Structure 1
Amino acid sequence: MPTTAASLRSYATVNAIPPKPHHRVVIVGGGTAGVTVAAQLLRSKQFQKDEIAILDPAKDHHYQPGWTLVGSGLKPLSDMSRPLSSLIPEQVAHYPLQVSTFDPANNELKTSDGVDVSYEYLVVAPGLESNFAGVKGLPEALQQPDSNVSSIYSDKTVEQVWKNIQAFKQGTAIFTQPAGIIKCAGAPQKILWMALSQWERDAVRKEILPIFATGTPTMFGVPKYSKALEELRVQRQVEGLFQHNLVGVDVKNKTATFKNLADNGKEVEKEFGFLHVVPPQKAWDWVAKSPLADAAGWVDVDKTTTQHTKYSNVFSIGDASSLPNSKTAAAISSQAPVLVDNLLAMIRGQELKAGYSGYASCPLLTGHNELMLCEFKYGGVPDETFAKVPGIGSQDVPRSIFYHLKKDFFPTVYWNSFVKGSWYGPRGWFKPDTTKTSA
């Protein structure tokens, strides 16, 4: 018999946990993807108490899209997290353990505490790692309150972003974006636009030279929105350093070192007075080195069904998956019902008919009281929810109504509906017919 959630939470030591618990469905990760999948599986009424288990050692669950609001001075950090145990349904067993190895051939996984867990079906959704140590000198810079270096990509550093924005009055302000895959690819410039807007309010904008230094070749991965954002960059007199990847930070000399990817990696140094850094990001080593990973380290799944390409009883969504789209919470809102429907179909011995179109959304703040709501699917094709609404039209235009969706509506919906399994992104509170989703 599986161990109950109540008893698991009462264990004072790891040694008290049974040596080899077994569950019908094991979910690795208690972030947005993991908690949402668990909640939606329970809503199917196909599972008894403790047939589903979540493994995650974290004490808190973070609403990471809200960190931009914190860094912009729009929301307190305390609004952006909850105790993880308070979000996991009572019917779901919670193991506060860290996975160390996967053994999909035997339907088992091992934890760093020496506990083996077996399963019938596995959902891998542990997110990704923000690799601050991947930039020389960055960890040390972030630990110095007077360094003027900060990042919205961690709950430990995000409050410093707002302090730095408020304190900065003149000089060069650099905002970076790394080459490669990151979560929420619009966030590196969201904080840029919000800082500029604040400096306009503080009447110091003319004294500041803003630079957007990105390891990518364009402002955004979707051509329609990239064009609009490039026009905004030029209009607002932001210097663009494209294909410039940050590799080092020297706080003492106030310099940032970049590799120019368009010039054989030639190093370029830039002096700064203010520096906002987005760290490089990667799959967790224990995922990347497992039998579940593809060559790039992500869980190798079919881009439509979310099922593993080799192990049929394994599924993955969210930041850890190989799904070739933007890694955002909005993407998970469309991925989760597809995974759930296909997992249930597999349990029933039926064909997997649910399909994920690649939908993702980036509510891209462009200043106070304005936001560009970028929505798209596989291939960089716009997939806009409000485009046909009278008075709105094309979503490459920043609008006030979208700003309030991001600032006021989405955080509330996240805590009250999303992680409880009743929010489906562009479909709102109405569960979509996943068999009609096409790429």
Structure 2
Amino acid sequence: MAGIAVFRPLATAPGRVLARTYATSIPAMAHHRVVIVGGGTAGVTVAAQLQRTPEFEKKDIAILDPAKTHHYQPGWTLVGSGLRPIEDMQRSMRSVIPEGVKHYPLRVSTFDPENNAIKTSEGVDVSYDYLIVAPGLETNFAGISGLEEALQDPGSQVSSIYSEKTVEQVWKNVQAFKKGPAVFTQPAGIIKCAGAPQKIMWMALSQWKRDGVRDNIDISFATGAPAMFAVPKYSQALDKLRRERNVEGLFQHNLVGVDAKKKVATFKNLAGGGEVQKEFSFLHVVPPQKPWDWVAKSKLADAAGWVDVDKSTTRHNKYKNVFSIGDASSLPNSKTAAAITSQTPVLVDNLLAAMNGKDLKAAYDGYASCPLLTGHNELMLCEFKYGGVPKETFAGILGGQETPRRSFYHLKNNVFPYVYWNHFLNGTWYGPSGFFRPETVPSQA
């Protein structure tokens, strides 16, 4: 059968590359029992947990993802704050794919769920018995006029922690800034890690205070949302913090344009209508985010473009051999890596039930967590489930988690990155349950 050769050059001395390959060719057609689209946190974790599950017999898993590098995206806040180097937050894709799992460096172009098949841009067709869709979402920098050009100019004082290509500039800008108006933005709509836009603000404020220049800087938080955070308990605590630290709150102000030369940011006022222009000397931008077009335009998507799954079982509402978790799914919870720790065992148990013709009993309750940095040596550990109901791991020991604590800060900065690379991606970490696999079937008591 004809195939497509995958050429991966081998590096030798700096600046030299060997022309030979070390990867075998990919067949023009391939079939696997389980195909996972996406080699990010969700895709790799599901594959790892499936590989570790004795009940999953005839293991035959493939991951489709064209990326060469796997990123620990929650760590980009640490990079932008000068706490960790970017090298700590990335590994080669080859190194994180679980042993025994096939990796195709292919880009999905079309889903054909009626025929249990996927078409790729490289011309390879991959069919499956079961499909897991977990490609994440798209950070749409082009969705804000002038932003891409501003980010390409190191002298613009415009930066963003939402890309590995721009995150290091954030820390450079924070260090260099001494005086003037500083604006931090958050877009309207769904984004990954909804606390991150203000995490970097709090860390910049803390750094400027350390540098003795805080009083020379006017800080504004402009968000397309109506409040500081979607969960009322934490939103109230964060708004109190905002007022205490003299940060201007511009709510329902959605960034639509950046003029780096004139140092002007243009916002759409979602409450009163019209546009608002604000001058800046420092600007941190979080771009709008959306489903990938090849997901949104597929038969798997709901009206909003997300993979249409049951919010409890994670199985597709139409195609019963299709599942989805993570940022690409329609699960109505906060899109965080922590959410995947609770979603994955539910998906695995329900996938095995589906394979055996049994009812799907495992249920996801919407758990998500946002370790929200509020400054050096302090962090508000926001944990909650569907409906914005707090679900706090340490409340019984330390009290309400709306109070920033030093111990939580060290979890974010020192513990979580280590756990991610050594246990999370290996399928042995379950978030609030630690190393103990949680019970996925709700108690009937």
TM over 0.5: yes
Provide the secondary structure at the position in 2 that maps to 1:435.
Answer: coil
Give the alignment's Cα RMSD to 1 decimal: 2.0
Does 2:35 correspond to 1:26?
yes
Q: Distance in 1 between matches of 2:195 and 2:79?
A: 16
CA contact (8 A) 2:371 2:381 kept: yes
Which residue among 77, 99, 106 is the counterpart of 2:115?
106
Does 2:46 correspond to 1:37?
yes
CA contact (8 A) 2:192 2:335 kept: yes
Provide the secondary structure at the position in 2 that maps to 1:26.
Answer: strand
CA contact (8 A) 1:110 1:116 kept: yes
Provide the secondary structure at the position in 2 that maps to 1:65.
Answer: helix
One-letter identity of the residue aligned with 2:306: W
Q: Distance in 2 between matches of 1:36 and 1:401?
A: 27
Q: Corresponding residue for 2:94? A: 85
Which residue among 387, 397, 400 is the counterpart of 2:403?
397
Provide the secondary structure at the position in 2 that maps to 1:388.
Answer: helix
Provide the secondary structure at the position in 2 that maps to 1:417.
Answer: helix
CA contact (8 A) 2:253 2:268 kept: yes
One-letter identity of the residue aligned with 1:419: L
Residues 14/259 of structure 1: CA separation in 2 closer, same or farther (3 Å cut): farther
Post-superposition Cα deviations, 1:147-187, rounded to whole Å, max 9, x if no partner, equal: 00000000000000000000000000000000000000000
Q: Distance in 2 between matches of 1:345 and 1:48?
A: 13
User: Displacement of 1:9 after TM fit?
Assistant: 8.3
Does 2:306 correspond to 1:289?
no
Q: Corresponding residue for 1:359? A: 367
User: Displacement of 1:48 after TM fit?
Assistant: 6.3
What stretches of structure 2 of length at least 5 have no aligned partner? Answer: 10-19
Q: Distance in 2 between matches of 1:336 and 1:429?
A: 14
Q: Corresponding residue for 2:415? A: 409
Q: Distance in 2 between matches of 1:437 and 1:245?
A: 43
5 Å-filtered alignment, 1:18-417, equals 18-47=27-56, 51-264=60-273, 266-389=274-397, 392-417=398-423
CA contact (8 A) 1:189 1:212 kept: yes
One-letter identity of the residue aligned with 1:416: N
Q: Distance in 2 between matches of 1:14 and 1:87?
A: 17
Residues 9/352 of structure 1: CA separation in 2 closer, same or farther (3 Å cut): farther
Post-superposition Cα deviations, 1:388-430, rounded to whole Å, max 9, x if no partner, equal: 01xx100000000000000000000000000000000000000
Which residue among 428, 435, 438 is the counterpart of 2:434?
428
Q: Distance in 1 between matches of 2:198 and 2:88?
A: 22
CA contact (8 A) 2:68 2:92 kept: yes
Q: Distance in 2 between matches of 1:177 and 1:326?
A: 15
Q: Distance in 1 between matches of 2:322 and 2:289?
A: 24
Q: Distance in 2 between matches of 1:408 and 1:14?
A: 36
What stretches of structure 1 of length at least 5 have no aligned partner? Answer: none
Post-superposition Cα deviations, 1:35-78, rounded to whole Å, max 9, x if no partner, equal: 00000001113456861000000000000000000000000000
Identity %: 73
CA contact (8 A) 2:219 2:247 kept: yes
Q: Distance in 1 between matches of 2:78 and 2:401?
A: 21
User: Displacement of 1:374 after TM fit?
Assistant: 0.2
Provide the secondary structure at the position in 1 that maps to 2:366.
Answer: coil
Provide the secondary structure at the position in 2 that maps to 1:420.
Answer: coil
The ranges of structure 1 where at least 4 consecutive aligned residues each deviate by more than 3 angstroms after the TM superposition are: 7-16, 46-50
